[in-house]
Structure 1
């Protein structure tokens, strides 16, 4: 059963009002969108809202009670304290449950990459995908299998778009994962430098001074 979260309309115009709300354990927000006549400043009980987000995730559809009206809303922009990382404000977008909307959904990489087994390092340049979907079908995450990625391989959206059961809006070259070669240990690099000969240096166009090894030109 979906939990109804009670919101209260708040005053605006003074930074001290927001500061006091946060001291009192409240979370400032704004509500806008479907069936909302104008953007409305509101606040919640911080702990109550945090519990719902932890239980259902940020892509959850929250049922918001404001006065005598109830709204279905999703979380929009989130603002955090720069030092502590604590959420200090967020937007709530009221939605029409019958219409599709665009949302960013986390990407979850699954599978044991061939390149990683060979010592490579897998990185995830982009952690979200933008999709168009009905509110009731918003997934918690989208799984992308990286099992076949070898060292030096890159996986872009074009490679897996037809495997994703949603209308995905990012460009084809949107990078989801890449496997980079392992970094050689520092001692190996030192040994390589130590084994370099005069012939190796001349082949690169450098010259050696017999009394002072290194480049002189």
Structure 2
């Protein structure tokens, strides 16, 4: 079931009004879609943050704009003030619940790799997985068990279990996680420094004379 989020229409697009609504705890936003003209709205920033935190980045939101019927949307994009760490603007995209769409889903690695216990280093070059699914079938996250990964082992997209709810659209050869051997560069450099000094040619002969 979609989470409802209330919104108000925004007629005044002046910067002075934008500052006013932000001071009231709201942010300007746009809702748009293939069969819908862009509409300027405002939403409560705290309610939006709570929805994303509780339901995930790909949550289906039932947007309730005053005077209109609810519409199913997803948070397509947003802007954050890098200094104040506050929401500044949001874009909502109207979704067709019966059609598949491409989205990125966060990857969560479960367990402690055996290779890490043996001194290796776990690396995760891929943090989000591209999948194709109907809006209601989009997973909040994809969990991958790495507990059996030994040093030198890796998990690629091809190793993932198939799902009847979504299709993975990443290249099968893409590495998701791997365990590397511990870095021995420092130790080798130290051993090289401990090698015996080369003998100076002619030194023994000079001493004998």
Where structure 2 has 5 or more consecutive residues not aligned to the other structure, the ranges are 202-209
Match of 1:65 in 2: 64
Asked if the contact 1:12–1:41 (Cα under 8 Å) also holds between the matched residues in 2, the reply is: no
Q: Secondary structure at the match of 1:18?
A: helix
TM-score, length basis structure 2:
0.81
The answer to whether the 8 A contact 2:111-2:147 is kept is: yes
Distance 1:192 1:14 in 2: 69
Partner of 1:146: 146
Deviation at 1:105, TM superposition (A): 0.8
- The equivalent of 1:215 in structure 2 is none
Structure 1 unmatched ranges of 5 or more: 200-207, 210-217
CA RMSD of aligned residues (A): 2.7
* Higher Rg of the two aligned structures: 2
Q: Superposition pairs for residues 28-177 of structure 1, below 5 Å?
A: 28-33=28-33, 35-36=35-36, 38-66=37-65, 67-160=67-160, 163-165=161-163, 166-177=166-177
1:58, CA displacement in angstroms? 1.6
Seen in structure 2, the aligned counterparts of structure 1 residues 195 and 125 have a Cα distance that, compared at 3 Å, is: same
Contact 2:2–2:72 (8 Å) recurs in 1: no
CA contact (8 A) 1:11 1:17 kept: no
For the residues of structure 2 that align with 1:137 and 1:85, how far apart are their CA atoms? 31
SS of match in other structure, 2:70: strand
Aligned pairs, number: 198
Cα deviation digits, residues 180-204 of structure 1 (max 9, x gap): 2223596x467424312347xxxxx
Relative to structure 1, the CA distance from residue 150 to residue 190 in structure 2 (aligned partners, 3 Å threshold; closer, same or farther) is same
SS at match of 1:19: helix
Instruction: Compute the displacement of 1:13 (Å).
Output: 4.9
The TM-score normalised by the length of structure 1 is 0.79
> Greater shift after overlay, 142-151 or 65-74?
142-151
